[in-house]
Amino acid sequence: MDNQMTLTFIARSENEGLARVAVTSFIAQLDPTIEELSECKTIVSEAVSNAIIHGYANNPNGIITIHAIRDGAAISVAIKDEGCGIEDIEQAREPLYTTKPEIERSGMGFTIMESFSDFLQVESNVGIGTVITFTKQISSARTLVT
Amino acid sequence: MKFNMTLHPNQVLVIKLYGELDHHQTEKVRAQISKAILQGNVKLLIWNLEQLHFMDSSGIGLILGRIRELRAVDGQTVILNPSETMQKIFKFSGLGGLIMEGSEQNVILQARGIVNG
């Protein structure tokens, strides 16, 4: 492991931007392309929004923790909440599936996270919480490291 | 977030978004945009995204919601100049066909042709 960081904040939607900036700065060490950076930023935004809206049902007392690791050219980021958990992960990952159409959630969050990451893991236990972990190889760093 | 709305002749509404559009921001702008669509009796809605630096799936929800409102009056939607990452997000969501490139003025002229058909 070459570097790591942990960020903890409460589940307020204002903090979605904070989470993106922190992870973006961490990944910037690897000199990623604009596309790579903006894809990572999108994954973080989706996962943190999910934690706030679904995990904690907009209860701002919830705690969200982001743990990012850089290992060579690979970035691994875990976004963790201790909220209600996901009952059916497979269903949640289906494109266009949402439990909150009334607030115009598109149901595309998981599809976007899967498409923009090299690997996406979703661990969830009802009543305990959810951890979404993604890994992504950064192309510019890949050529440096090998 | 900063955004501005301009109502052009023939019920064309242009919404220009700046900065970052996420869940937090969409909650703040939705009502205003919705109101403008209904009051302007809008037939063509152009989302000008050239100054938008970030968007996640909340943006998809916002645009899909307005497409639904426009459906009642047969209104059309154009997504103008999204970034590469946004283009991917629109394509995953089945909105790739609404993307156009170019200047606002050209698109208004071109799209008016489509609308008046």
Q: What is the CATH number of the domain that holds B90?
A: 3.30.750.24
According to the model, what pLDDT value does residue A67 have? 98
Residue B114 pLDDT greater than 80, yes or no: no
Query: How many angstroms separate the first and last alpha carbons of chain A?
Result: 16
In which domain, by residue range, is B60 found? 2-116
| Confidence category of residue B116, pLDDT binned at 50, 70, 90 | low
Q: How far apart are CA B3 and CA A40, in angstroms?
A: 25
Pairing relationship of beta strands A3-10 and A63-71 according to DSSP bridges: antiparallel
Q: What is the largest CA-CA distance in chain A?
A: 49
Task: Confirm whether pTM is higher than 0.90.
Answer: yes
Per-residue pLDDT tens for A72-110? 999 999 999 999 999 999 999 999 999 999 999 999 999
To which H or E segment does residue A22 belong?
helix A15-28
Q: What is the ipTM of this complex?
A: 0.91
With an 8 Å Cβ cutoff, is B91 touching chain A?
Answer: no
DSSP-based three-state secondary structure for A104: coil
Average pLDDT score, chain A: 94
Answer for the pair B107, B46: CB distance below 8 angstroms, yes or no: yes
A101: closest chain B residue by CA: B61
With an 8 Å Cβ cutoff, is B26 touching chain A?
Answer: yes
Whole-angstrom Cα Rg for chain A: 15
Per-residue pLDDT tens for B15-62? 999 999 999 999 889 999 999 998 888 999 999 999 999 999 999 999
CB pairs under 8 A between A and B: 73
According to the model, what pLDDT value does residue B73 have? 86
- B15, two tokens: 């919404």
| Confidence category of residue A117, pLDDT binned at 50, 70, 90 | very high
Residue A95: closest CA among B50, B100, B91? B91
Beta carbons within 10 angstroms of residue B35's beta carbon:
11
Nearest to A17 among B22, B58, B92 (CB): B22
Per-residue pLDDT tens for B74-84? 899 999 999 99
When divided into structural domains, chain B yields a total of 1
- A81, two tokens: 């909440």
Residue B113 pLDDT greater than 70, yes or no: no
The stretch B81-102 carries a mean pLDDT of 97
Domain ranges of chain A: 3-137
CATH of region A3-137, choose from 3.30.565.10, 3.10.20.740, 3.40.50.720, 3.40.50.10860: 3.30.565.10
Q: How far apart are CA A55 and CA A36, in angstroms?
A: 27
According to the model, what pLDDT value does residue A144 have? 54
